[in-house]
Amino acid sequence: MGRRTALGSVAMAGMCGAFFLLVHAVVLLILLLNQVTMVTGKTSCNPGEYEVGENLSCSRVCPAGYYVSTRIDQNHHIGACSPCPSGTFRAHPSEEPRCVPCAQCREDQEVVKRCSTTSDQECRCQPGKFYCDSEDCTESCFRCTRCGDGAILQPCTAINNTVCALNPESGEGPIPSLKSVKAKG
């Protein structure tokens, strides 16, 4: 009886070893096929789709940060998307043939966020100034109002002027209105 058990164990070990080798062979085959796909570098996109990026995925539109560099022709040949060049961006997926130039900050502004391939540059007024975009003024930065006795209800920010407890000119308050700031310039 002991001999039969020993033979059964040897047979079982042989089957486990064969199964182990089969699993390894399948894994190696999958890895090899994956490498062949990566080396050829071609994707089979459907008609009307674009090849996108280094991994060559397919899309009906180019993703944010890309533009259509090769158009799909009347025969539905596959087009291609390319990354936006430096100094340009595309914030949303599109079929546009070029990226949008990044905004430039004016001399009275500072950069809040640099331009990337997916977002425009953001600017704000330099410290001590605020941005005015109402109909009473042109789009520009104005010097923040200084409160006469230093009594500030609300400090100046990049988008709002100082609110003084008393009008620095008349002693009455609170102030300022945008028109009085514009007139002083």
pLDDT tens by residue, 2-59: 555 554 444 555 555 666 566 555 555 555 544 434 444 455 677 667 777 666 677 7
pTM: 0.54
Whether residue 181 has pLDDT greater than 70? no
Is residue 3 assigned to a domain? no
**Residues 168, 116 share a domain:** no
Q: Please say which residue of 125, 146, 171 terminates a domain.
A: 125
Alpha carbon distance 7, 64 (integer Å): 65
**Residues 116, 64 share a domain:** yes
According to DSSP, the β-strands at 50-52 and 57-59 are antiparallel
Whether residue 118 has pLDDT greater than 80? yes
Residue 161, domain extent? 127-184
Alpha carbon distance 49, 66 (integer Å): 14
**Residues 108, 141 share a domain:** no
**Residues 62, 74 share a domain:** yes
**Residues 73, 103 share a domain:** yes
Is residue 37 assigned to a domain? no
What total of structural domains would you count in the chain? 2
**Quick one: which of 143, 137, 138 has its CA closest to 125?**
143
Looking at residue 90, its pLDDT comes to: 97
Dump pLDDT digits (tens) for 162-173.
Answer: 998 876 566 555
Q: Please say which residue of 106, 125, 144 terminates a domain.
A: 125
Whether residue 111 has pLDDT greater than 90? yes
* Residue in this structure with the two tokens 């997926």, named with its chain if needed: 93
Q: Please say which residue of 95, 125, 155 terminates a domain.
A: 125
Taking CA atoms, 162 is separated from 121, 148, 183, in Å, by 26, 12, 16
Alpha carbon distance 151, 168 (integer Å): 10
Looking at residue 33, its pLDDT comes to: 47
Which residues are bridge partners to 131 per DSSP?
Answer: 141
What is the amino acid identity at position 16?
Answer: C
pLDDT band for position 137 (50/70/90)? confident
